[in-house]
Structures are given as C-alpha cells and as structure tokens.
Amino acid sequence: MDKFSTHSGLVVPLDIANVDTDAIIPKQFLQKTERVGFGQHAFHDWRYLDGEGTQPNPDFILNAPQYQGASILLARENFGCGSSREHAPWALQEFGFKVIIAPSFADIFYANCINIGILPIKLANEEINELFEACNGNANSLTVDLLNNKVTHDNKCYTFSLDKFHQYCLENGVDSVGWTLKKLDAIETFETKLANWQ
C-alpha cells in the first residue's frame, strides 16, 4: 500500500445521498480474479447511456469537462452503502480518487478504503454543504493534510478526525497482514483457550 501524507487535487461534487456500491461498480464487472481493471467501469450505469459503455451520459457529473482528472470525490451521506464488495473502492482508486469526503460512510466501505489506501474524510453536514456550494459547477481544488488532519479550501480550513491506528497505517503504508503476523504468539495463546467444540 502506498504511503499517504498530503494530497492536493481537483474536487468533483457528487450530489447524491446513499450512493451504494452497486452504483459504484455494477455486478457485471465483478467477475475478475485480479485487482485491476475496475476503474474503467466505475459508476458505469450512471456514466453511460448504453449498457455497452460507448455513449457517455453528458448529464453525469463525472463526465463534465471541468472535472476531468479529479482526484477528490465530494459526496453525500451514507456513501458506499450496500454490498461489501471491495471492487468499489478498487474502481474509485483506479479511476483516480485518492480522497473521498462525505458526512458519513457505510462501515464496510469505510474499512475497505482504509485497507487499500484511500483516505475517507468525514466532515459535518454544514461543512459538506459549504464545499458543495463552492464546488458545484466550478473546478476547485482542495489540499488534504493527513499528518495534521486538515482539509484546506481557499482560506477555509476544516479539521477531521481519524482512528489513530488507521492514520498510522495510511501514513506508513502498513502491510496489515504482516503487522498481525508479528502477533502470532498472542493468536496461538488465544487458541489454546478454545474448547474443542469451538
């Protein structure tokens, strides 16, 4: 996993609540056995007017010319709800997103983001509203400083909080399996206490 410290990039405002992981990556693209190849299908049913993906939908925000190259996704409440498919954050990451900012995230999606190195930032509703007002229709950039837990836009600064261990893992690109394997003794000790029917 790549290390994350600071990131500045273009913001695209996706003004829809309860965006589910079926919308982020529809099921017809889940048949791969590799981690790559999902980005081109991100938001497929919204991005394209046809099932084959040949006619871009001009009304979908991610297709708007001023947002091309965006790396920060501004979203509404309950982002990433539904299916546990990690293919959804894989698709967003490959599409180019490094940061997602929303008032709330679904739990599994949030954990998946942390585990693959996307930074999910929760801000208060009023702050999210301010950002939507600033970004709607306009090409705007933000700077995200993970080390100091700050998002800066023009002269405004928003503070976010993050679980300390999540922060450590993102900052250091921790291999979480390798980290836990250093605790094998504790795992073995735990297992000796299990009854044989467990």
Partner 1 sequence: MSTTNATTLYEKLWQRHIVDDTPGETPLLYVDRHLIHEVTSPQAFANLKFHNRPVRRPDKTIATMDHNISTRSVAIDAAGEGAANQLRTLEKNCEDFGIKLFGMGHKNQGIVHVMGPELGITQPGQIIVCGDSHTATHGAVGALAFGIGTSEVEHVLATQTLRQTKAKTMKIEVRGQVAPGISAKDIILAIIGKTGSAGATGYVVEYCGDAITALSMEERMTICNMSIEFGAKAGLIAPDQTTFDYLQHKEYAPKLADWDAAVANWKTLKTDDEATFDAELVLEAKDIKAQVTWGTTPGQVTTIDAEVPSPDDFTEQVEKDSCIKALAYMGLEAGTKITDIEINKVFIGSCTNSRIEDLRAAASVVSEFAKQGKHVSDKVDAIVVPGSYRVREQAEQEGLAQIFTNAGFEWRLPGCSMCLGMNDDKLAEGDRCASTSNRNFEGRQGRGSRTHLVSPEMAAAAAIAGRFVDLTNFNQA
From first CA to last CA, the distance across the chain in angstroms is: 35
- The verdict on 192 binding partner 1 (CB under 8 A) reads no
Is 134 near partner 1 (CB under 8 A)?
no
- Of 5, 6, 8, 18, the one binding partner 1 (CB under 8 A) is 18
The span of 4-12, 55-63, 65-73, 74-82 binding partner 1 (CB under 8 A) equals 74-82
DSSP 65: G
Indicate whether 40 belongs to the interface with partner 1 (CB under 8 A). Answer: no
Nearest 5°: the CA angle 90, 46, 119 is 30
Residue 107 or 133 with smaller CB distance to partner 1: 107
Q: For partner 1, which stretch binds (CB under 8 A), given 72-80, 130-138, 141-149, 154-162? A: 72-80
Q: Phi and psi at residue 158, in whole multiples of 5°?
A: -115, 140
CA distance 25 to 38: 8
| Residues in 84-123 that interact with partner 1 by CB under 8 A | 84-87, 89, 104-108, 111-112, 115-116
Chain-centroid distance, C-alpha 26? 16
Q: Are 21 and 89 in contact (CB under 8 A)?
A: no
Q: What are phi and psi of 154, to 5 degrees?
A: 50, -120
* 77: DSSP letter: T
Binding residues for partner 1 (CB under 8 A): 16-18, 20, 22-23, 26-28, 30-35, 45, 51, 76-78, 81-87, 89, 104-108, 111-112, 115-116, 163-166, 168, 176-178, 180-181, 183, 186-187, 190-191, 195-198
